[in-house]
A and B are shown apart, each in its own frame.
Chain A
Amino acid sequence: MSNPSTVKTRASGPTRLRRRTRVSEFALETLIRVLGFSTIGFVLLIFLFLLREGLPAFFQVSPAALFSTHWYPTYGFFGTLPLILGSLLVTLLAIVIALPLGVATAVFVREVAPQWTREILKPVIEVLAGVPSVVLGFFGMTFVAPLVREVLGAPTGLTAFSGALILAYMALPTIITVAEDALDSVPRSLRDAGLAMGATRWQTIWRVVVPGARSGILTAVMLGMGRAIGETMAVMMVTGNAAVMPTSLVSLFRPIRTMTATIAAEMGEVARGSTHYHMLFGIGIILFILTFLINLAAASAIFQKKRKGGLR
């Protein structure tokens, strides 16, 4: 320390080595930073390319025609309303089915079931999350639709209802997992307080724990909805694909067509650069914005919970 020159000569070899590792380390850390930011880039790229191919449609088709009630692309009718309503109908119906099932299952798994039951149930629900949507669609076509047809006595089993049923089960793993996390994050002290007041476990669950998990359950619903509205293959195979306006309750048991199915079914046959081609990308833009808003809402609920984290 008192003699810097000796230190310098002794350390010259290792120092040079260290500098080289420092340079390569700097390069690596820069790369990692770039990779970290890459997701923002990908989202922007996706939106950019959707706009590039889809925007022309909004200039070629007037806004009034865009939201008219007829979708006959071969005759130049590009009314997206039946498709948007079709998507909304199927999605909402799916959530109406999946929400009570999902929350009840989450409560059962998390609060009621004994350990061994839980260890059987969790993997089974995980398996459902892993089943490819085309397999569920295939199952829906060959097994559920005939069942629906027989029960309803309808001319076809490929209906909005069959689609919603399949979608509900596809959304269930998401809803159950997120709702379970929400129940789990309700502090123990609240449960104890409920029980100490003389409430039964059942009363504590419904009056204390579930209300306490409200925001998390809302997140679960939003995420499930995002999943359902964007689902393509299963919906295309099961809903019958008729682009008609759902006008009354009967429409639930008639064929219907969603935005996603329209893109998937028609993109293969369309001429590149035609209005129809741009229009399909235009539907993609609508879907992108819709799911973005839904996920933003879900994420803001998630972030809210995190910000309060210190107190829990």
Chain B
Amino acid sequence: MNRALVQRLGFAFLGLITFVVVVPILLVIGVIVARGIVAINWQFLTTMPHGGMKEGGILPAIVGTLLLTLGTALVAVPIGVGGAVYLSEYARDTRLTRAIRLAIVNLAGIPSIVYGLFGLGMFVLFFRFGTSILAGSLTLAIMTLPVIISTAEEALRAVPQEFRTVSASLGGTRWQGIRTIVLPQALPGIITGVILGLLRAAGETAPILFTVAAFYLPRLPSSPMDQTMTLPYHLYVISTQVPGMPLSIQYGTALVLLALVLSLNIVASVIRRHFRRKRQW
């Protein structure tokens, strides 16, 4: 058989499979946008749910997700960036360093529901935080760590070694070099990593099932010790636990969650692209 023909058929086949992979992705987005958009209006976004959640808006779920993400950031960013600085700037290739890397790989692989169990056992019960934004934020923060550490470390390592050498040759200490040169240069990459980690946390349901989530709580949380509704859990509840729920509200909630997560995703890649183009090295 003609080799050129085989190649052309082969490439066409690969293209077809890629098509099969890509089309459902667009279909998911398309269907949720098309069916959800009708439910979206100002009232849906800014009022409390009522009538057994079949009427009204989803404000407490939106606010809950934002607060939870903020709490996650407050815990995960300092630990994650600190850990990345250690791995990139201080750690030598020792047994201990390899253990740290293995721990990160392992943390990244632990199922989200197991994080939920851990959060329940440690924060809710052992520390007696109860089901609260605090307990949920801590649980999500630990889950988010591996993403932040790996991307931040990659960004720090991308800063050329010469920058550190020059800083040291001018009499700067190692920390001065990190603080004034390496960290600022790596900042866009670090921010990208932080956003990617946080959007994962914002969309997670399993870790917050037993640590934060309130089935139906039509008021805004007033302290970190409060329970709260959240978008992902609310979507789960209204699509599986409430019979007779109007589909438009379900799709509307899915759309709000999807829009929140994807817009963060876009922000992250815009930052990455913008600074990669601007970078001199």
Contact = CB atoms under 8 A, between A and B. Distances in A.
A, B co-complexed: yes
A124 interface: yes
A260 interface: yes
B144 to A, nearest CB: 11
A72 interface: no
A58 interface: no
A263 B120 CA distance: 12
Q: Is the interface of A mostly helix, strand, loop or mixed?
A: helix
Interface stretch (A1-9, A248-256, A281-289): A281-289
B167 interface: no
A260 B206 contact: yes
Contacts of A131: 28-29, 203, 258, 261-262
A52 interface: yes
A201 B7 contact: yes
A52 B18 contact: no
B233 to A, nearest CB: 8
B118 A49 contact: yes
A232 B145 contact: no
Interface string A282-308: 001001100110111011001100000
Interface string A130-163: 1111111111011100000000000000000000
A12 B29 CA distance: 67
A132 B257 contact: yes
A46 B110 contact: yes
A227 B109 CA distance: 7
B22 to A, nearest CB: 5
B22 A124 contact: yes
B203 A135 contact: yes
Contacts of A231: 111-112
Given A50-B117, A53-B121, A104-B14, A139 B205 contact: no
B166 interface: no
A291 B110 contact: yes
B126 to A, nearest CB: 7
A32 B90 contact: yes
Contacts of A272: 125
Interface stretch (A34-42, A62-70, A74-82): A34-42
Interface of A: 22, 25, 28-29, 31-33, 35-40, 42-43, 45-46, 49-50, 52-53, 100-102, 104-105, 107-109, 112-113, 121, 123-128, 130-139, 141-143, 169, 172, 176, 200-203, 206, 223, 226-227, 229-233, 237, 260, 263-264, 267-268, 272, 280-281, 284, 287-288, 291-292, 294-296, 298-299, 302-303
24 contacts: A29-B175, A36-B87, A40-B100, A49-B122, A52-B121, A101-B20, A105-B18, A112-B15, A124-B26, A131-B28, A131-B258, A133-B206, A135-B32, A135-B232, A135-B235, A139-B28, A141-B240, A202-B7, A230-B112, A263-B117, A284-B118, A295-B106, A295-B109, A299-B102
